[in-house]
Amino acid sequence: MYETTNILIVDDEEVVRMSHHRTLAGLHCHVEEAWNGQEALRAMERHRFDVILLDLRMPDLDGMTVLKIIKERWPESQVVIITGYPSIETAKEAVRLGAYDYLAKPVGPDDVIKAANAAMLQKKWTLQTCRADYDSGERIQYRYPWEN
């Protein structure tokens, strides 16, 4: 994991937030937590996060709504859905909306680390590709993998 990785954990269950926080904080990441969708969006406005670990079922805004808003406002952020209620339909919808990954709870510390690290690598690759296209002077419009 990169020292400058900023991660936001969004889950209405305190024990889940604390577990993920402990796992990731040990990797020299900057980790913050939000217990619902509104709080997550406020956190995003205050501080840009590289990776967001996002639950689907929460009070107020559900995870799909939060995912959609994050990808509209902060498309460079990578979102990993972690849900206790997985389904093929929600997995397809999450990917369509721009989620990097979709995991079913329970997830262990190794799974959290792997998902966050892979999402951060994807972000760095995407930004590097966009920068290389810009630096080369080519008029290439980058399309995210989930865009048609």
Q: How confident is the model at residue 29 (pLDDT cuts 50, 70, 90)?
A: confident
Q: Which CATH class is domain 6-135?
A: alpha beta
pLDDT value for 25: 86
pLDDT digits (tens, 9 = 90+) for 80-134: 999 999 999 999 999 999 999 999 999 999 999 999 999 998 888 776 655 545 4
Q: Is 10 helix (H, G, I), strand (E, B) or coil?
A: strand
Is residue 108 a contact partner of residue 116, using CB atoms and an 8 Å limit? Answer: no
Structure tokens belonging to residue 59: 């009070």
Mean pLDDT value across the chain: 86
pLDDT score of 110: 95
Task: Give the mean pLDDT of 9-26.
Answer: 94
> Which whole-number Å values give the CA distances from 71 to 11, 65, 105, 111, in the listed order?
18, 10, 23, 23
- pLDDT digits over 129-145, tens only? 555 454 555 544 444 44
What confidence tier does 4 reach under pLDDT thresholds 50, 70, 90?
confident
What is the tens place of the pLDDT at every residue in 44-62?
Answer: 999 989 999 999 999 889 9
Burial class (CB in 10 A: 0-12, 13-18, 19+), 28: exposed
The pLDDT of residue 129 is: 58
Q: What is the pLDDT of residue 46?
A: 96
Tokens 């939060």 locate to 66
